[in-house]
Amino acid sequence: MPYTESVDLVAVRQRLAAIVFAKVAGPQGSTTRKLINDTPGPRWFGPDRPIRRVHGDMAIFIGGLRALLLQSLHPLAMAAVAEHSDYRSDPWGRLQRTAAFLGMTTYGPAADAQRMVDHVRGVHRRVHGTAPDGREYRASDPHLLAWVHVAEVDSFLRCHQRYGEEPLDDAGCDEYVADMARIGAALGVVDPPLTRDELAARVAAYRPELRGTKEARDAARFLLLWPPLPLAARAPYAVLGATAVAMLPAWARWPLRLPYLPVTEATAIRLAGHSLVGGLRWIVSG
């Protein structure tokens, strides 16, 4: 006999789904979703493209947190975030804007995706200053844009391959990197990587520039230990944080003063990560 959820369980799932959607999508979430789904016209990516599979899977939550931690290791990128971002005062707003950007560029009409990119590029042009080490930075600097891009692509792809419901094959991984290059180039990244090998080489090329600054360690502590969450959400978020940290390479841990526990990460944390992502899939599947 096929399994059928009880009415009460369906109600619980619907309630949880509404809470998750409100937190991730924000007050304009329903409007944005309708625009993405109901507006006719061409898209940047067809329904068979790997980017749609990766960005539609709940493993992206792990990838997003990993990306923020990895990106913080570039002192100039972190200085721009520390001085101009509202990640401490309005972390949910920042998440919602990021989700809207990913949703529109991945699934939305091409014209609206371009307008979203143009808006972000306009914001970047206004973000500039001097880092604590005395160097000037500009968020529109193609070199910094490329670091943010490759850290994000690397994180989304690795976490999807570990925790995604349908991991990509080798060709699909290369195609995902190429899909993301379309968005990166639109944002101002020069010569973004097109394959997984090119992506790995680009990440490695940045390593001499990376280090753990006070601002980066403060951001990591905020993201992992002090997020503004209700009590009921703290345990699942702790699993999310532990899983994201476990997905970082060992060389990225020490600069942020993050632990490296290979046995625990390969067993308990991996199992907990799969359970968390599976739970999120169940919540949003109704």
Q: Is the pLDDT of residue 224 over 50?
A: yes
- The reported pLDDT for the residue numbered 3 is 54
pLDDT tens digits along 38-90: 899 999 999 999 999 999 999 999 999 999 999 999 999 999 999 988 777 77
pLDDT tens digits along 93-123: 778 889 999 999 999 999 999 999 999 999 9
Q: Is the pLDDT of residue 1 over 50?
A: no
Segments making up each domain of the chain, as ranges: 7-284
- The reported pLDDT for the residue numbered 11 is 77
Across 193-202, b (16+ Cβ under 10 Å) vs e yields bbbbebbeeb
pLDDT tens digits along 4-29: 556 567 777 777 777 777 767 777 87
Q: pTM for the complete prediction?
A: 0.92
Across 101-139, b (16+ Cβ under 10 Å) vs e yields bbbbbbbbbeebbeebbeebeeebeebeeebeeeeebbb
Band (pLDDT 50/70/90 cuts) for residue 145 is very high
Report how far residue 173's alpha carbon sits from residue 39's, in angstroms, rounded to the nearest whole number: 29
14-28, 131-145, 149-163, 217-231 — which is least confidently predicted? 14-28
Report how far residue 201's alpha carbon sits from residue 194's, in angstroms, rounded to the nearest whole number: 11
Mean pLDDT, range 212-237, rounded to an integer? 89
Q: Is the pLDDT of residue 161 over 50?
A: yes
pLDDT tens digits along 230-268: 787 889 999 999 999 999 999 999 999 999 999 999 999
More confident residue, 274 or 26: 274
What percent of the chain clears pLDDT 90, i.e. is strictly above it?
75
Q: Is the pLDDT of residue 2 over 60?
A: no
What phi and psi, each to the nearest 5 degrees, are found at residue 8?
-65, -40
More confident residue, 225 or 50: 50
